[in-house]
């Protein structure tokens, strides 16, 4: 394997590879043949430094992460490792060491984080597939900011060996692409033989034919967070709220039954986050205990500020937070089952995409409002640009995403 560049000058690429890319084993089947793969630089590729977006923490990986190998063995060609918010701990991907990741779709706006380079590589046409990580929205926020598709699967559904941790109870690795169809292709390669609860979406296709399990003919869809005027036509209101032309009409075409009360409201999302952030901060602080605060001056100032604020959470608080989230997840799923709710839709972002140079600490809570709670509850979530689909399993959210895509839904940047 030969590196072509040590770092890009566009804020996206950290390392580029030869056209044929690295290989970790024999290609079993070619479902991904011809598709170029970009890998977030907190995921290992043998023989290449994994920088984690840091100027001091990079080390050469001795083995390739299984999630990368799974895609390569289906024919994908790794073409680049890509930039991120340092240590996957941030929402802007304004990396002071490797350059701020741009937003190719909207150059005056941020690309989101922390998997900003993964989403930007797709939007810029540098790759067809990407791998990112998502602990509190780090795949879905960039997908919304640049207008691509990204899946956060359940924590532990895929092998996380060779994926550098931030908060192990909540970290997830997942695929991004420009279409739901290609995310499904990547997911199937990742899920085939995975150790966790990952399920392959059957009947793969690249030509727009239906994929997924046999769907409900009239799925019951809950809505959260949409600014809908009862006097306004639902189709146009949904399109306006998400920035996605075609969402409302696609829901109509699949016969979706809309439920305005999906068992959790804005106040419920706030309660979930109240239980989530103590556990998140405890684990982030523990992950960095060997370096922080001893090497605080070598960190991105935004990350150092977060780690300083994460200090001091007691183990008992961490355990209580995890237990409370498990109870809340169980109660919500039981409620969905009793009422027949198949999926929930939300905007992906809780605010307009911020301008380049925006103060991260002024926008991060709003950016993550609709993504962080599902990480906390460990439910799979699919961002199709500015709209997010949440369900019980990855197969459920992907099947619904495919049905909506078949009826005209296209990922576009959030407003």
pLDDT digits (tens, 9 = 90+) for 281-325: 999 999 999 999 999 999 999 999 999 999 999 999 999 999 999
What is the spatial distance between Cα 261 and Cα 341, in angstroms, rounded to a whole number?
Answer: 10
pLDDT of residue 203: 43
Identify the active-site residue in 118, 138, 169, 285: 138
Indicate where the chain has its CATH 3.90.1300.10 domain(s): 3-191
* Residue 114 appears among annotated catalytic residues: yes
- Taking the CA atoms of residue 75, residue 76, residue 77 and residue 82 in that order, the dihedral angle to the nearest 10 degrees is -160
Helix (H, G, I), strand (E, B) or coil at 284: helix
Identify the active-site residue in 54, 69, 93, 114: 114
Residues in the chain: 415
Question: What does the angle CA 84 – CA 138 – CA 58 come to, to the nearest 5 degrees?
Answer: 30
Identify the active-site residue in 40, 54, 169, 321: 40
DSSP structure string for 147-204? T-EEEE--TTSS--TTB--S-TTT-EEEEEESSHHHHHHHHHHHHTT-SSS--PPSS-
What is the spatial distance between Cα 66 and Cα 45, in angstroms, rounded to a whole number?
Answer: 10
What is the spatial distance between Cα 71 and Cα 305, in angstroms, rounded to a whole number?
Answer: 36
Structure confidence by residue, pLDDT tens digits, 154-213: 999 999 999 999 999 999 999 999 999 999 999 999 998 777 776 677 543 333 333 333
pLDDT of residue 231: 55
What is the spatial distance between Cα 320 and Cα 204, in angstroms, rounded to a whole number?
Answer: 42
CATH classification number, 3-191, choose in 3.40.50.10320, 1.10.3720.10, 3.90.1300.10, 3.40.50.720: 3.90.1300.10
Structure confidence by residue, pLDDT tens digits, 79-117: 999 999 999 999 999 999 999 999 999 999 999 999 999
Structure confidence by residue, pLDDT tens digits, 16-29: 997 655 554 554 55
Alpha helices in 197-290 (DSSP H): 234-242, 247-253, 266-287
Q: Residue 373: which of 251, 274, 298, 250 has the closest Cα? A: 274
Instruction: Report the run of H or E that residue 347 belongs to, with start and end.
Output: strand 343-347
pLDDT of residue 240: 64
* Residue 138 appears among annotated catalytic residues: yes
């Amino acid at each position: 394997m030969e590196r072509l560049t040590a770092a890009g000058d566009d804020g996206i690429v950290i390392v580029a590879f030869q056209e044929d890319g690295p290989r970790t084993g024999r290609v079993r089947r070619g479902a991904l043949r011809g598709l170029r793969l970009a890998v977030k630089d907190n995921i290992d590729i043998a023989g290449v430094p994994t920088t984690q977006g840091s100027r001091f923490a990079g080390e050469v990986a001795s083995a390739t992460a299984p999630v990368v190998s799974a895609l390569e063995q289906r024919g994908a060609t790794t073409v680049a490792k890509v930039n991120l918010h340092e240590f996957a701990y941030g929402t802007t991907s304004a990396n002071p060491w490797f350059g701020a990741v741009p937003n190719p779709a909207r150059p005056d706006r941020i690309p989101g984080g922390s998997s900003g380079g993964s989403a930007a590589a797709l939007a810029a046409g540098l790759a067809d597939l990407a791998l990112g990580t998502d602990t509190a929205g780090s795949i879905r926020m960039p997908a919304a900011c640049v207008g691509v598709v990204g899946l956060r699967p359940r924590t532990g559904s895929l092998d996380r060996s060779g994926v550098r941790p931030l908060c192990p109870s909540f970290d997830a690795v997942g695929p991004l692409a420009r279409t739901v169809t290609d995310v499904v292709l990547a997911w199937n390669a990742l899920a085939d033989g995975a150790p966790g609860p990952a399920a392959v979406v059957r009947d793969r296709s690249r030509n727009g034919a239906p994929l997924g399990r046999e769907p409900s003919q009239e799925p019951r869809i809950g809505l959260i967070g949409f600014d809908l005027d009862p006097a306004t036509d639902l189709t146009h209101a949904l399109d306006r709220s998400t920035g996605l032309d075609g969402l409302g009409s696609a829901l109509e075409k699949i016969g979706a039954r809309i439920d305005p009360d999906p068992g959790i409201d804005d106040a419920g999302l706030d309660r979930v986050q109240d239980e989530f952030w103590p556990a998140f901060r405890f684990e982030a602080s523990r992950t960095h205990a060997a370096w922080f605060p001893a090497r605080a001056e070598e960190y991105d100032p935004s990350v150092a500020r977060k780690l300083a604020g994460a200090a001091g959470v007691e183990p008992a608080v961490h355990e209580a937070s995890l237990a409370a989230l498990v109870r809340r997840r169980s109660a919500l799923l039981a409620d969905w089952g009793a009422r027949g709710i198949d999926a929930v839709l939300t905007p992906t972002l809780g605010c307009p995409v911020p301008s380049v140079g925006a103060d991260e600490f002024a926008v991060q809570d709003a950016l993550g409002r609709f993504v962080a709670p599902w990480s906390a509850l460990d439910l799979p979530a699919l961002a199709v640009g500015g709209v997010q689909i949440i369900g019980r399993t990855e197969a459920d959210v992907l099947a619904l995403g495919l049905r909506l895509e078949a009826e005209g839904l296209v990922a576009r940047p959030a407003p």
